[in-house]
């Protein structure tokens, strides 16, 4: 017995030693990684104030590179930070007093943004960058209530560069020149753009148990991409494949630049009627099919505003008969796709009543790319939230949807011949 016991002890000792060594190695590695890290970290934040003024304090581990700007409709103050990780806890930045809302997050690979929405017009009275102990930095912003005229004056003074977060915005919508009607499209190529709704600073809806729409849509699109491995002849393009902000017009532009044959935008929003659940499918229309669809489109279209973007009236600057023609034809294709999804989901995936609805969703505005938006379910409903975060449900739904899209693709290619 005894030798056996000793051997046992010996094994435990060496196991313990190995564990210590592993821990030590990973500790040393993480120290190394930290040292190499160039990203600044905003590790703490605070807002104090009343109905007249607010003081905003943000602490950084290095000197921050930042820009403070104003935006109107609604009035907002925006802080853009280069290479900064916003690591403070959510509850540290809660809106109070003259601030009606605070949101923050990633805008692009190297930029983060904090948006302070104002209950009343207010301007920055003072801003300071203080050096604290241990070479850390504190940004202090004092905001005071003002007249709308004062706000408008500082708004006018500022130099706001063209939205940087929109990679294809510069070439913008080339008026009319690239609109095509189906006669020009007779190849066997079929380009499908998958659009995971929201991302980065724009989290989208939040479930009652904490699920976040931008994660649900990204997971769904990733699985959908996998589901297409079974099918040939479909070229896939994703508007985003990470937690990244992207404006609605940039999403549309990606589809247009790719001369895509179809854009599918995935969402899972939240609505006031908590009992409502099930998937619903949307296509574009100037006139909404019903109030429900209209409200949903309004909420979706707010995305860019909430992320602190300038909203140009981009969508309608493509005008003319050619656009109308393309749009009408595109609309037909969009409706066919939407109805097919409804048919294929029936009896398999729970659907909202009248599941194909219409409204003015900005992400569906490409005049030459048939576009469909799918609300997978509603995060405001507990049962839906559970399903939406369930990998099994996701697998089933993505497989059904991939099949549905592939049938549509075959029909379109057949018609082209």
Q: Which of 365, 369, 193, 349 is nearest to 268 (CA)?
A: 349
Which residues, 6+ apart, have CB-to-CB distance to 232 below 8 Å? Answer: none
Q: Does 200 help bind Zn ion (rule: CB under 5 A)? A: no
| Options 73-81, 87-95, 164-172, 264-272: segment touching Zn ion (CB under 5 A) | 264-272
Secondary structure of residue 379 in the 3-state scheme: coil
Q: C-beta of 173: minimal distance to Zn ion in Å?
A: 23
Q: Which of 174, 111, 119 is nearest to 144 (CA)?
A: 119
Q: C-beta of 375: minimal distance to Zn ion in Å?
A: 7
133-171 per-residue burial string, b: 16 or more CB within 10 A, e: under 16: eeebbbbebebbbbeeeebeeebeeeeeeebebbeebee
Q: C-beta of 218: minimal distance to Zn ion in Å?
A: 12
Per-residue binding string, Zn ion, 269-288, x by CB under 5 A, is x-------------------
Q: C-beta of 197: minimal distance to Zn ion in Å?
A: 4
| Options 156-164, 197-205, 345-353, 359-367: segment touching Zn ion (CB under 5 A) | 197-205
**CA 183/CA 187 separation, integer angstroms:** 10
The string of DSSP letters for 1-66 reads -HHHHHHHHHHHHHHHHHHHHHHHHHHHHHHHHHHH---EEEEEEEEEE-SSEEEEEEEESSPPPE
Q: Does 197 help bind Zn ion (rule: CB under 5 A)? A: yes
Task: Choose which of 76, 103, 267, 358 interacts with Zn ion (CB under 5 A).
Answer: 267
What residue number has its CB nearest to Zn ion? 267
Q: Does 384 help bind Zn ion (rule: CB under 5 A)? A: no
Q: C-beta of 106: minimal distance to Zn ion in Å?
A: 17
| Options 178-186, 204-212, 312-320, 339-347: segment touching Zn ion (CB under 5 A) | 204-212
What part of residues 112-171 is at the interface with Zn ion (CB under 5 A)?
A: none
**CA 58/CA 54 separation, integer angstroms:** 13
What part of residues 337-376 is at the interface with Zn ion (CB under 5 A)?
A: none
Q: C-beta of 213: minimal distance to Zn ion in Å?
A: 5
Task: Choose which of 204, 308, 355, 370 interacts with Zn ion (CB under 5 A).
Answer: 204
Left if phi > 0, otherwise alpha if psi is -120 to 50, otherwise beta: which for 210?
left
Residues that bind Zn ion (CB under 5 A): 197, 204, 267, 269
């Amino acid at each position: 017995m005894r030798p056996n016991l000793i051997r046992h002890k010996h094994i435990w000792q060496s196991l313990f030693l190995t564990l210590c060594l592993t821990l030590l190695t990973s500790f040393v590695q993480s120290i190394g990684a930290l040292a190499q890290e160039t990203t600044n970290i905003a590790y703490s934040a605070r807002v104090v104030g009343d109905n007249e003024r607010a003081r905003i304090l943000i602490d950084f581990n290095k000197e921050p590179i930042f820009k403070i700007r104003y935006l109107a409709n609604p009035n907002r103050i925006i802080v853009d930070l280069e290479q900064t990780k916003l690591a403070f806890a959510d509850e540290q930045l809660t809106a109070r007093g003259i601030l009606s809302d605070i949101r923050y997050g990633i805008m692009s690979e190297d930029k983060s943004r904090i948006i302070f929405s104002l209950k009343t017009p207010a301007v920055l009275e003072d801003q300071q960058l203080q050096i604290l102990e241990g070479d850390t930095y504190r940004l202090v912003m004092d905001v005071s209530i003002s007249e709308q005229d004062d706000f408008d004056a500082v708004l006018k003074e500022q130099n706001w560069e063209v939205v940087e977060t929109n990679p294809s915005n510069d070439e913008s919508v080339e008026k009319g020149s690239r609109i095509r009607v189906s006669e020009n499209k007779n190849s066997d190529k079929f380009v499908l753009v998958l659009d995971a709704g929201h991302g980065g600073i724009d989290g989208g809806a939040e479930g009652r148990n904490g699920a976040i729409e931008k994660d649900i849509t990204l997971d769904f699109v990733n699985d959908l991409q996998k589901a297409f491995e079974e099918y040939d002849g479909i070229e896939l393009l994703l508007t985003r494949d990470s937690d990244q902000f992207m404006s609605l017009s940039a999403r549309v532009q990606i589809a247009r630049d790719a001369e895509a044959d179809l854009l599918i935008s995935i969402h899972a929003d939240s609505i006031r009627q908590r009992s409502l659940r099930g998937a619903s499918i949307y296509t574009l229309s100037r006139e909404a099919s019903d109030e429900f669809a209209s409200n949903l489109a309004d909420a979706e279209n707010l995305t860019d505003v909430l992320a602190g973007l300038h909203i140009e009236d981009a969508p309608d600057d493509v005008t003319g008969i050619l656009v109308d023609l393309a749009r009408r034809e595109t609309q037909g294709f969009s409706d066919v796709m939407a109805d097919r999804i409804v048919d294929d989901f029936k009896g398999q995936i729970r659907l909202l009543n009248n599941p194909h609805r219409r409204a003015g969703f900005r992400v569906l505005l490409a005049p030459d790319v048939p576009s469909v938006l799918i609300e997978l379910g509603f995060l405001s409903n507990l049962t839906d939230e559970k399903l939406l975060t369930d990998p099994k449900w996701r697998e089933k739904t993505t497989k059904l949807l991939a099949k549905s899209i592939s049938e549509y693709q075959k029909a379109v290619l057949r018609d082209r011949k």
